[in-house]
Chain A
């Protein structure tokens, strides 16, 4: 099932250590911005008295990876959804399609690429936690195996039912994500999309795309059949016209 993050909005003290650590780890220029950009891969947003961490959710069936025509975005077995900047041709379909609106673009550069959190895929491979989780002084962001994190989140919700909304954001959203969040304020009030179906959006296109090979065969036979029938009708008409001593038209 891979690794993931559990973010507990009630524990966050808003120090911003996660965002700074991210900038350093990924060598991103500029200051941490209020919203996600190609150069700010994670940030804290003040909502309803809480500090809400925004970052790539690392979907189990990532919409971005499904729409990328050159497979520049892929889900690894470890959990991260990674990006190969060398492949990307800049169609920006991932930005359009992402239900969490995460991938951002370098609009200011003549040779632009996409920027988004890659869940420190390199560090995970070395057996280390993500830079943000390591930097967090309040254990508001914890790193671990996803199944352990789900267990941990459930435990917190069960032990302190009054202090949490009874929902783990990311358990089912868009088919489930490797990054999950719990909070004492409903998630739609925190600026998180609450209308995401449990079926991954990628399935909607796959239902169409997977039928294309079959369709080509049937449509081709149909079209040739139409030609065959109408052409024969023409030939018959010609012969009959000759029989009547008339010339076929043009």
Chain B
């Protein structure tokens, strides 16, 4: 029966979700082939009026943003010395690393000539935010890989390198936090250059800070969500004693962020465009209500914060609102000035969904292979350990 297999996932057994992941991966490969033989125009709805679409708005902006849980939690554990969170650091670093890998693969598809990606290392233009983004992706992916490597070393019994990394963990984490701070904010800085194009509900000289703080909020939401998902998949109980204080952190981050957004809109004298209730106004209200107001209000009540369903639901809203915000900045807010409407093509969506599915499959594989969760690799668990 199904439940038996789930209770004792000793061996990998392909099921429905494996099949879905395989199909999506194959579809992704097909689109990739068309894209590199026929050009970007054949697979995307991008145009001269709308040169950046879903792959930048979702894959790049959200992939990086949702990986923010990694730097937030490593800072909490190793710099703020709140050691009780240590058990959930590893899955967070893994998610961060996979998120960045996801971004790099998406960039390889989106760039017109991805085989020249190394040009950013050789030809410098420090005036370009994209130059900063390129360097942050490269360096922080490396830092995440090094932070995760002890898990792999331990698995194969190489204790010496694991010990060296353990000793260097403080400077490594500091480097990671600095790079993340720069990178998260730089994605907002990308849009500083388009004051005449981005709608005043989203444009602000404070965009880098908006992006940074909302990434922390949504990154924490991701940590909660991912604990829940892996808990479901591997029949682990939720670490409520850890997730409840994280939810408080999320409220603070989203609260500051929400306030800053409102201040920016006031400075732009753009409250009118919310009241007009046009396309942009509606999208803003949806994004702000679902992604900021609801999670902040709900998670302010201890009773809801300590209830797994409300906690996970609010974390989901925060992540959803985050994704909506990035899509609004990169697509909704840019449409009016471009004089055209952009909807991603089916093939663009296949690439994004296929990459997410692949990332989740790799995550599921990794937690079976390596000691990522506090109680060791999931395969070594027995039914008797199943608590509440």
Contact = CB atoms under 8 A, between A and B. Distances in A.
B8 to A, nearest CB: 30
A99 B117 CA distance: 26
Given A67-B193, A69-B125, A208-B189, A224 B174 contact: yes
A67 B132 contact: no
Contact of B127 (A66, A196, A230): A66
A161 interface: no
A93 interface: yes
Contacts of A66: 125, 127-128, 193
A124 interface: no
Given A36-B48, A209-B189, A227-B81, A201 B174 contact: no
Given A37-B48, A195-B196, A227-B78, 18 more contacts: A36-B48, A67-B130, A69-B128, A90-B113, A90-B114, A105-B40, A105-B48, A105-B112, A110-B36, A201-B195, A202-B127, A205-B192, A208-B189, A209-B189, A212-B182, A216-B182, A226-B79, A230-B81
A230 B119 contact: no
B303 interface: no
Nearest to B190: A93
A216 B114 contact: no
A193 interface: yes
A2 interface: no
Among all A-B residue pairs, the 10 with the closest Cβ atoms = A90-B112, A107-B41, A230-B81, A69-B130, A89-B116, A95-B51, A71-B125, A69-B131, A70-B123, A92-B51
A145 interface: no
B111 A90 contact: yes
A105 B51 contact: yes
B129 interface: yes
Interface in A68-85: 68-72
Contacts of B122: 70
Contacts of B116: 70, 87-90
B39 A108 contact: yes
13 contacts: A87-B123, A89-B114, A89-B116, A90-B111, A109-B39, A110-B37, A110-B38, A111-B113, A193-B196, A204-B192, A204-B205, A224-B170, A226-B79
Nearest to A193: B196
A223 B75 contact: yes
A157 B132 CA distance: 45
B47 interface: yes
A91 interface: yes
B101 interface: no
Nearest to A200: B193
A97 B111 contact: no
A230 B80 contact: yes
Nearest to B80: A230
Range, interface on chain B: 35 or more
Main secondary structure of the interface of B (DSSP, over half): helix
B354 interface: no
Contact of B112 (A89, A204, A208): A89
A234 interface: yes
Contact of B81 (A90, A97, A205, A233): A233
A73 to B, nearest CB: 9
Given A202-B193, A219-B181, A223-B79, A70 B120 contact: yes
A211 B87 CA distance: 36
A69 B194 contact: no
A91 B111 contact: yes
A63 B193 contact: yes
Interface in B146-190: 170, 174, 177-178, 181-182, 185, 189-190
Contacts of A206: 127
Nearest to A201: B193
A205 B130 contact: no
Contact of B178 (A72, A208, A216): A216
B16 interface: no
A13 interface: no
Interface in B59-107: 75, 78-81, 83
A107 B47 CA distance: 7
Contacts of B190: 93
A196 B42 CA distance: 34
B40 A112 contact: yes
Interface in A97-145: 97, 99, 101, 104-113
A197 B195 CA distance: 9
